[in-house]
Structure 1
Amino acid sequence: MIEDDEFDDFMKEMKGVEPLKAKQKVDLSAPKVQQPSLIHRRQMAVKVEQGSQNHLTEEMIDLVHPLDVLEYRSEGVSLGVFRNLKRGQYAIDARLDLHQKRMKQAREEVFQFIKDCRKYDIRSAIILHGKGESSEPKAFLKSCTNTWLKQIPEVLAFHSAQKHHGGVGALYVLIKKSERTKQENRIAYNKGRIDF
């Protein structure tokens, strides 16, 4: 407990002292404008609740130029694997043609195509979206495909095709292994090993 004498001494020492003036602080509250990725995640959650599994966006499409080379590589895909994909060195086991499709139909087909590729253990596929030089807006289906494939976790990488496969009007797509294939690879890899 503080003695009265100590308190009096303290008050004498503090005579003439003024509190520091508060400086303006930065407002750290959440921004009022929602980020596009947050909006997309919320839309996905609503669609899943409504029973639709297709979470690919119909809004917020990043427009690209008809002659742009498209490329995407997710984390974990080695540069060597990506280089082989870019060069068209993997066998094309499935193909989807989106020419003359409307956005909604293309969206459904891209989603189902990747789902089917995964189901049937197809690792390398091609999607023909066209350049879209005469579409309005230009390269619309190409832009949609570029945006959608990045939203599908089963897509490991993609790159614009070589000229003989459609060039900038098509994409090579690398798809994750199914769980069944992963298990078969583990068994095959461990078959020759002797554990001590």
Structure 2
Amino acid sequence: MSHFEREELDSFFAEMQDVKPITSNDKALLHDPDAALAEKQKRASQQIQVRDTLKNPLSMEGVKPVPPDEFIQFQQPGIQDGVFKKLRLGKYPLELAVSLAGKTLQESRELLYKQICAGHERGIRALIVKHGTGENSKPFPGLKKSYVNHWLRELEKVIAFHTAQPMHGGFGATYVLLKKHPQQKLINREKNRKG
């Protein structure tokens, strides 16, 4: 090594003597896997919300007012009268309660749609929707009740509904009967085969 090279090297080490190596804790992470995953999940959830809003078939138009103290009922063709009577009398176990209290019409629309779809996926047959009587609602009395009456008829998963018995909320609530989930039909078929 020449004299000049040695001086260069000594000069370099003299300049670097107070520099310390970076410890593993001091690393600047340009990629944070946890933050990236959280961001990805947030974007996915926003996309699902947008998709759900787009595919929610419940309409806000053409709703006929229903008086607060009037029964609402619906029965798809082919639903046996005995099944409908059992629903009307509140004899089905209510596996889910959907409360629309304190919600706007738009929030009620979203909640009702999501809960009925989720309930159907879980194999729920009967549920109750608590919409209140809306005696003082604007622009007309029975506003939410009227929308629930309208919306439930738009959902193909709903095969019947009826105003609840007084013990379950009377005119302020509605029993809803859902179609059997295809998976539930298979389970029932297996049970019947074994029995």
Give TM-score scaled by structure 1 length. 0.71
Which of 116, 119, 140 pairs up with 2:118?
A: 116
- C-alpha displacement of 1:187: 2.1
Corresponding residue for 2:38?
none
Instruction: Report the Cα offset of residue 51 of structure 1.
Output: 7.5
Instruction: Determine the structure 2 residue equivalent to 1:154.
Output: 157
1:134 to 119, 133, 136: 136
Task: Structure 2 unaligned segments of length 5 or more: list them.
Answer: 1-50
Number of residues of Structure 1 aligned to a counterpart in Structure 2: 145
* Secondary structure of the corresponding residue to residue 112 of structure 2: helix
Q: Which deviations, in whole Å up to 9, do the C-alpha atoms of 1:55-96 show, x marking residues without a partner?
A: 110111111101011110011210001001000001110001
Looking at structure 1, the residues matched to 132 and 52 of structure 2 have their Cα atoms a distance apart, in angstroms, of 32
1:187 matched residue in structure 2: 190
Please tell me whether the aligned partners of residues 161 and 175 of structure 2 are also in contact (alpha carbons under 8 angstroms): yes
Residue correspondence of structure 1 range 25-174 to structure 2 within 5 A: 52-136=54-138, 137-174=140-177
Whichever of the two has the greater Rg, that structure is 2
Relative distance call for 1:83 and 1:57 in structure 2 (3 A) is same
CA RMSD, aligned part only? 1.8
Alignment partners' CA distance in 2, 1:133 and 1:106: 17
SS of 2:176 mapped into structure 1: strand
Query: Which 5+ residue runs of structure 1 have no aligned equivalent?
Result: 1-48
> 1:179 Cα deviation (Å)?
0.9
* CA apart distance, 1:186: 1.7
Report which of the two has the higher share of helix: 2
SS at match of 1:52: helix
Query: Structure 1's 189 and 142: CA in aligned 2 closer, same or farther, altered over 3 A?
Result: same
What corresponds to 1:177 in structure 2?
180
Percent of aligned positions that are identical: 35
